[in-house]
Amino acid sequence: MKHLKPFLWCYFIIVLIELIVVGHPELWSYRIITKPMIMVSMIVFFLKQKVDQKTRIIVATALFFALAGDLLLIYDEIYESLFYGGLLAFFTTHIMYAIQFSRSRNKDLGFIAPTLILLFYAASVYIYLYDSLNNLAIPVAIYISAHLIMILFAYLRKDFLTNNSYIYILSGTFLFMFSDSILAITRFKSEIPYSRILVMAFYASAQLLVILGILKNVVKTRSLKSDYSV
């Protein structure tokens, strides 16, 4: 990967600044700069990497919609319509990631057990939130479905790729889930201590792991003769 170490330092500093800002309400006006810089740095880093055209289009689309979602959700508590926009933006991000992951699916791997586990977790969170969702009940259900599809396709890459790529991406998708769960519970049900910091820390880590996993996406063959980025 090109410029990995400089990017990681830059990314760490940007995320750290955002976490400091989000932890101090008197600084929240600066989030219009600090929050989107996380994805801007990720987009610049990714576009400098050598990947095939299809991967570039799919992943860049996911990242740009994530950036849009970040911007929309800065003021979503003031303007509810922005929450709908943010939900749609991140729905698109998850779908695009799912499409990318599906390109490396291990078709011999069973999916019933992980699907049931994911459904149980998602249903538990959704039922807990349901009374507070009101007119957002259906949009949130659709969003959760997209999230589960993304995680499932991340799991279905097992034994088809190098371990690093698989572990990075699967871990990243679970961090997405934790971030969204904390955000949803805090917004619709009850405040979780340090929720804003946790949401952004998990989210930034998730994006980093997913992108690094995609860039490490080397197909595992028995001969180990051919390595290529999907």
The conformational region for residue 105 under phi > 0 = left, psi -120 to 50 = alpha, else beta, is beta
pLDDT given at position 230: 45
Q: Which two tokens stand for residue 182?
A: 């904390």
Whether 224 is covered by a domain: the verdict is no
Here the tokens at position 187 are 């917004």
Residues whose CB is less than 8 angstroms from the CB of residue 201 and which lie 6 or more positions away in sequence, other chains included = 15, 19
d(CA 55, CA 17): 30
Range of the domain at 132: 4-215
Q: How many CB atoms lie within 10 A of CB 151?
A: 26
Q: Which residues of the chain have pLDDT under 50?
A: 219-230
Is residue 229 assigned to a domain?
A: no
Q: Is residue 143 part of a domain?
A: yes
Per the structure, the count of domains in the chain is 1
Q: How does pLDDT run across 102-149, given as a tens digit for each residue?
A: 998 888 788 888 899 999 999 999 999 999 999 999 999 999 999 999
Give alpha helix (H) positions in 23-134. 31-47, 53-72, 80-102, 112-133
Check if the beta carbon of residue 59 is closer than 8 Å to that of residue 211.
Answer: yes
In a domain, residue 227? The reply is no
Instruction: Tally the C-alpha atoms within 13 A of residue 164's C-alpha that lie toward its C-beta.
Output: 9
Q: Share the mean pLDDT of the chain.
A: 90
**Closest by CA position to 217, among listed 44, 54, 6, 63:** 54
DSSP, residue by residue, 119-132: HHHHHHHHHHHHHH
pLDDT for residue 12: 98
Question: Is 133 part of any domain?
Answer: yes
Is residue 74 a part of any domain in this protein? yes
The answer to whether 105 and 155 are in contact (CB under 8 A) is: no
Task: Give the position of tokens 């003021």.
Answer: 75
Query: Per the confidence metrics, is the pTM higher than 0.75?
Result: yes
Q: What is the pLDDT of residue 81?
A: 82
Would you say the C-alpha torsion 67, 213, 91, 35 has a positive or negative sign? Answer: negative
**DSSP type of residue 224:** -
Specify the pLDDT at position 3. 87
Length of the chain as a residue count: 230
221 lies in some domain: no
Six token digits for residue 209: 């792991």
- Does 226 map to a domain? no
The two tokens of residue 133 are 């969702």
